[in-house]
Amino acid sequence: MTVGVRVDRETFRNFSSAEVALFYALACVALAVFAYGVFLKLRKYRRGRFERRFDNLPARLARALAVVASSTGVAKRDALAGVLHGALLWGFVALFIGTTIVFIDDDLLRLVHPAWRFWHGAFYLWFKLLLNLFGFAFLAGVAAMWLRRKLFGLPQLDYARVDRPAGEYDRSAYVRGDALFLGLFLAIAATGFLVEGLRIAADRPAFEVWSVVGWRLADALQAAGLPHHSSSQLHFYVWWVHALLALAFVAYIPFSKASHMVTALATLVFADADAGRRLPRAVAGSEHLGVKKLADLSWKNLLELDACTKCGRCHMACPARASGAPLSPRDLILDLREYADASWARPALEQPRFLGRDAAPQPEAALAGGVIRSDTLWACTTCRACVAVCPVGIEHVPLIVGLRRSLIEDGEVDRRLGEAFESLARRGNSFGQSEKLRGRWTRGLPFAVKDARKEPVEFLWFVGDYASYNPRVQEVSRALARVFWRAGLDFGIAYDGERNAGNDVRRCGEEGLFELLAEHNVQMLAQCRFREMVTTDPHSFNTLKNEYPDFGATYAVSHYTQVLVRLAEQGKLRLKAPLGKRATYHDPCYLGRYNGVYDAPRRLIGWLGLDLVEMPRSRQNSFCCGAGGGRIWMDESNVRERPSENRIKEAVALGGVDYFVVACPKDVTMYEDAVKTSGNEGKIRVRDIAELVEEALAQDGPA
Amino acid sequence: MHIVVPLRQSPDLVEELQINAEATDIDRQAAKLGISEWDEQALEEALCLKDGSGAKVTVVTAEGGQAEELLFTALAKGADRALKLAGDFSAPMDNHRLARALADAIGRLGANLVLTGVQSVEDLDGQVAVLLAAMLGWPHVSVVTRVELAGETAQVKQEHSGGVSAELEVRLPAVIGVQAARRTPRYAPVSKVRQAQKSAKLERLAVATDGRSGLRVRRVFKPEAAAQAEMIQGTPEEIAAKLVAILSERGLSR
C-alpha cells in the first residue's frame, strides 16, 4: 500500500455538522423506542410467576450458545433452513460486531483519547474483508430464506388454523410481519453494499480492493455507466436510506419477530433439560394447581411465548395436528402470546383479529377453556415431538399439562376419562377390573412368578396396567416372563400391590390422583427387596425413573428391552436361528424421545437376525401412536385420521416389511387395531419385541 | 331451597361377592363399598339445581364403611353440608330400617326436596324413596331424569318404558327417585377431595333405626347354575352342521 495514504474511511462522508447531528438525534430516538420495547417485555416477564432456573448459569449459557452458534436448532427436520439460518446469523453477528467496533472507535475513542483509535491501516483492511464476506453471507442467507418462503409453499408457513374455519380469523398481520422482517434485512444488507460500492466508485481508494464485494459492485456500477459525480451524490442519499432502515430496525426489534435474537437465546439458556419428562409438583401453598390465569404463567413461560418465530416445526411434527384434532402447538403458543401482549404489553404488533362469531378473548379470561379451548388441550398426546423439534427451546408439554391441571380443577373431564380416573382411584387400574386380578395373567405359565413383596428378587418387574389386564398384551407379558425364566433371571412381580404408576394420569393434569398412586407404589415398593426394577411400559418407566425421586424414591429402572439386550449380550439367551425377516421399529415416545433409549431395541432386533428398515420418522422424530398423555382413555371422535393409522401407512410404504416391531404395551393394541382399520391386514404384522425374542430362543428352560 | 341427598353405600360388583358364615347376608367386611351409582346421579342432579338456582345441598350417609370418603367426595363436588348418620346400621339393613333412619334425619334437618337414587344394587325394586316419602307424608315421583324447580313445585321428567317420557308437576316438599341426572356426574379431582378432608368438617347425627319390615332373611346364596352352555367349536361349516343337528334333535327346527 502507498505510504502516506491514510487507510480508513470517513464515517460521515461529505456531511454538514447539522446532518451529523440529525443522524445522532434519530439514533437516540431509535434507541429510546428500542428501550421502551425492552421495558414492556421485562415488565411483562416480571408479572409472571417466579420460577427458579438459575443453576449452573455458565453451563446453561455455553449449551445455549452452542445451539445458537451451530444453528442446529433450526436444522432440525430441515437441514437447508439450518444452513441458511447459520449464514445469516453469522453474517448478522459479524455486522453487529463491526458496527460496534466502528462505534467504539469513532464515537467513544474519538472523544476519549483519539490516539487509541485503531480502525485504520491493516486492521481496517482485514475488517473490510471479513465484513464483506460475512455481509455477503448475511445477504445470501436472507435472500435464500425469502426464496424458500416464496417458492416452496411450505405448509408450516401457511398460518391456517386447525381449530377455526378460514373466515373466522385474520392472520395477515403475521404475513406482513414476516415480510417486514425479511424485507428490512434484505434492504439493509443491499443498501449497505450499495453505499460501499458508490463510495468506492466515487473515490476509488486503491486499498478498498479488500472490500471484495463493494469493489466489484463499484466496478459493476461504473460498467453500467454511472458517472463519477453521480456516485458521489447518490452515496449521500443511499447512506441515509441505509441509516434510516438500520435505525428503524433497531426500534422495531422488541416489537417483532426480530426479538427472537435475544428471547430465543434466553429461552435456550433457561431451558429445562427435563421438560415434560419430570413435571413440576404442585407449588405448596398456592391456591390452585394449574395454570388458570395469565399470572399463573411463569416468567419463563412468557419468555418462551416471545421466542416463537412461527417456524411451524411443531405444527408439522404434532400427531394431534396431523390427525385433524384442533391442536397445533404453534397456535397454542401464539394464542397465549397474543393474549399476554394484549393484556400486559401494549402496544404490540401482530395482534390477532377474530372475525365473525368469536370475539377476541376478554381480559382476565381463563386460559384453559377460555383463551385455549379445552378440546385443544385434551388433544395433546404429550409425545414431546414439539419440545424436541423446537429450535428455540419452547417447552410446550409442561405448559399444556399445567393448563390441563386447571381444567381438572374445574372438573372439566370427558366422561370416559372420568371413568378411568375413578377406576384408577378405586382399583389402581384403568380397566375397571378388580385389583386382585392384576397378577392373574401369570396363570398358565410353566412356573410360579415370585411375589416380590414376600421374597427378595434381583429384578422387580413393574408390569403396568396394559400388560396386566389387556388380554392381548397379557400374551406378551407371558412371553416376556418365559424369556426371563429361560434366561435364568431372578425376578418377581408385586401382584395386587402394584397400582398404575401414574405417568399418564399426571399428564392428564390429575395431579392429586397421580400423588395418590405414586404414594401407594412408593410405600408398597419400600416393602419389597430388589436390586433393579424392570418395566414393560415405557410410560411407567418414565415416571418411575424420573418422577418418583420427587417422592423420595429412587430406583435403578430399566425398560425390558434394555434387560433383554443385556441378557442376550451376556450369552444368557441363545438364538435358535436368525429370524431373517424384514422389520421396522417404532420408537415409543416415552422410551425414545423422553428417555433416549434408541439403541437397546435396535441391538435386540439386530441380535434376532432381523433386517431393520427405518421409517422416515424414527428415533428423535418418531411419530406418536396417539395413545399417550391419557388420550387412550378419551373420546377419539374429533380425529380425522388416527395417528396410529398414519404410522402404519408409513411402515407399509417402506415396501416388503414383514414386522412392525413395538416395545410398548399400548403400541401392541394401538397398532394391531390400526393395521385392521387402515386395511393393511396381511401386509404387515405387529410384533412385540418380547414375542420375537421368545420365538427365536433356542433354550426351553433355564440353563 | 334445601335439597337433601341420602347416599347409600353399596357393594362394588366388580369384586366377587362372598356370603357370610351364617348365610344371612353378603360378607360386608370383605366387600368393597362405594356410592350407589343411582345416588351419584341424584347428587349430580341436586348439584345442577344448586348451580342453576343456588339451592343448598346436604348429603347424608350411614356411618361406617366408606362413609367419610363418600361425604368428602360429595363436598369436593360442591355439596354444602355432609352428615354421618349414627345408629344401629348393622346388617342386615333392610329398606324399611334405612327409610326410617332417613326420615328421622330429614325430619330434623328440614328439606324442601329429597333427591335419591331410584334404586340401588341392594334395592332393585326401588323401595327406599317410596317408603321414605310415605313416612314423611310427602309426594313422591320415581324414575326421574330431570328436575326443575318452580317456586312451590318441581317439574320433573319421568322415564317410562318404550322411549316414552312424562312431564309431571309435584308439590314441594317431595321425595324424588332419580334414574339419571341431566348430565354425566361431575368428576371430583383427588386434590379437591383431599382439600375437603383437610378443611371440611363432617357432622354426626344420631337417628332412629328402629324401622321394621316384618321380613326375616332365611338364606342368602349364590345363583345356582341351572344348565351348562355348550361352546361349539370348529370351522363355520362344522359349527353350522352341529347347530342344525342340535336344533332338529330338540324339535326346534322345521
Residues 6+ apart with CB under 8 A from A678: A645, A648, A649
The H or E element spanning position B42 is helix B37-53
Complete DSSP assignment for A582-614: EEEEPPPTTTTTTT---HHHHHHHHHTT-EE--
User: Rounded to a whole number, what is the distance in Å from the CA of A445 to chain B's nearest CA?
Assistant: 24
Which residues are B59's β-sheet partners? Answer: B5, B82
Which residue of chain B comes nearest to A425, CA vs CA? B190
- Residue where one domain finishes, among candidates A409, A442, A472: A409
Residue A608 lies in a domain: yes
Q: Are A408 and B188 within 8 A, CB to CB?
A: no
pLDDT at A168: 85
Q: Chain A, 244-263: which have a CB under 8 Å from a chain B CB?
A: none
DSSP helix/strand/coil, A86 = helix
User: Rounded to a whole number, what is the distance in Å from the CA of B231 to chain A's nearest CA?
Assistant: 20
Number of structural domains found in chain A: 3
Residue A364 lies in a domain: yes
Number of structural domains found in chain B: 1
Instruction: Choose the closest CB to B14 out of A415, A432, A516.
Output: A432
Question: Sheet holding B113-117: strands in order across?
Answer: B165-171, B153-159, B140-150, B174-178, B113-117, B2-6, B56-62, B81-86, B203-206
Chain B: residues touching A (Cβ < 8 Å): 12, 14-16, 32, 34, 77, 184-194
Q: Which of A466-470, A499-503, B18-22, B166-170 has the lowest mean pLDDT?
A: B18-22
Closest among A634, A678, A688, A621 to A652, alpha carbons compared: A678
User: A459 near A532, Cβ under 8 Å?
Assistant: yes
A254 and A357 inside one domain: no
Q: What is the mean pLDDT of residues A578-596?
A: 97
* A363 pLDDT above the threshold of 70: no
* B108 pLDDT above the threshold of 90: yes
DSSP state of A544: I
Calculate the alpha carbon distances from A607 to A228, A600, B47, B76 in Å: 76, 10, 60, 54
Q: What is the mean pLDDT of residues A178-195?
A: 96
Residue that the C-alpha cell 385434551 belongs to: A378
A429 and A370 inside one domain: no
Chain mean pLDDT for chain B:
92
A431 and A397 inside one domain: no
User: The domain containing residue B102 runs over which residues?
Assistant: 2-206
pLDDT at A563: 98
Whole-number Å distance between alpha carbons of A297 and A372: 14
Amino acid at A98: G
Which residue of chain B comes nearest to A409, CA vs CA? B189
pLDDT at A170: 87
Residue B222 lies in a domain: no
Whole-number Å distance between alpha carbons of A254 and A252: 6
Residue B104 lies in a domain: yes
The pLDDT tens digits for A527-568 are 999 999 999 999 999 999 999 999 999 999 999 999 999 999
pLDDT at A356: 41
* B17 pLDDT above the threshold of 60: yes
A355 and A248 inside one domain: no
Q: Are A282 and B187 within 8 A, CB to CB?
A: no
User: What was the ipTM of the complex prediction?
Assistant: 0.87
The pLDDT tens digits for A445-492 are 999 999 999 999 999 999 999 999 999 999 999 999 999 999 999 999
Torsion region of B18: left, alpha or beta (phi above 0 gives left; psi -120 to 50 gives alpha)? beta
Q: Are B190 and A510 within 8 A, CB to CB?
A: yes
User: B205 near B60, Cβ under 8 Å?
Assistant: yes
The H or E element spanning position A533 is strand A532-535
| CB crowding A533-565: b at 16 or more within 10 Å, else e | bbbbbbbbbbbbbbbbeebebebebbbbbbbbb
User: The domain containing residue A248 runs over which residues?
Assistant: 17-46+85-267
Residue A74 lies in a domain: no
pLDDT at A26: 97
Higher pLDDT, B89 or A285: B89
User: B85 near B63, Cβ under 8 Å?
Assistant: yes
Dihedral, CA atoms, A188, A192, A195, A199, nearest 10 degrees?
170
Q: Are B187 and A421 within 8 A, CB to CB?
A: yes
Q: Are A511 and B191 within 8 A, CB to CB?
A: yes
A314 and A363 inside one domain: yes
Residue A68 lies in a domain: no
Residue A354 lies in a domain: yes
A557 and A619 inside one domain: yes
A388 and A426 inside one domain: no
Chain A hits for B73, CB-CB cut-off 8 Å, are none
A291 and A261 inside one domain: no
Residue B185 lies in a domain: yes
Question: Model confidence at A2, in pLDDT bands (50, 70, 90)?
Answer: very low
Q: Are A411 and B194 within 8 A, CB to CB?
A: no
Q: Are B191 and A433 within 8 A, CB to CB?
A: no
Chain mean pLDDT for chain A:
93
pLDDT at A397: 97
Question: Model confidence at A635, in pLDDT bands (50, 70, 90)?
Answer: confident
Q: Are A409 and B184 within 8 A, CB to CB?
A: no
DSSP helix/strand/coil, A7 = coil
Question: Model confidence at A287, in pLDDT bands (50, 70, 90)?
Answer: low
The pLDDT tens digits for A296-324 are 999 999 999 999 999 999 999 999 999 99
Whole-number Å distance between alpha carbons of A92 and A69: 12
Residue B211 lies in a domain: no
Instruction: Choose the closest CB to B194 out of A427, A433, A512.
Output: A512
Residue A3 lies in a domain: no
Residue A701 lies in a domain: no
User: A360 near A294, Cβ under 8 Å?
Assistant: no
A105 and A254 inside one domain: yes
**CATH number of the domain where residue B71 is located:** 3.40.50.620
Is any Cβ of chain B less than 8 angstroms from the Cβ of A512?
Answer: yes
pLDDT at A347: 76
* A360 pLDDT above the threshold of 70: no
Q: Are A418 and B12 within 8 A, CB to CB?
A: no
User: Rounded to a whole number, what is the distance in Å from the CA of B188 to chain A's nearest CA?
Assistant: 6
- Residue where one domain finishes, among candidates A224, A239, A267: A267
Whole-number Å distance between alpha carbons of B54 and A354: 35
Residue A127 lies in a domain: yes
- Joined grid coordinates for residue A443: 396363570
Q: Chain A, 405-424: which have a CB under 8 Å from a chain B CB?
A: 408-409, 411, 413, 415, 417-418, 421-422
- Residue where one domain finishes, among candidates A379, A409, A439: A409
Instruction: Choose the closest CB to A433 out of B14, B191, B194.
Output: B14
Please report the number of interchain residue pairs, chain A to chain B, with beta-carbon separation below 8 angstroms: 46
User: Rounded to a whole number, what is the distance in Å from the CA of A520 to chain B's nearest CA?
Assistant: 14
A399 and A472 inside one domain: no
CA A468 to chain centre: 33
A237 and A314 inside one domain: no
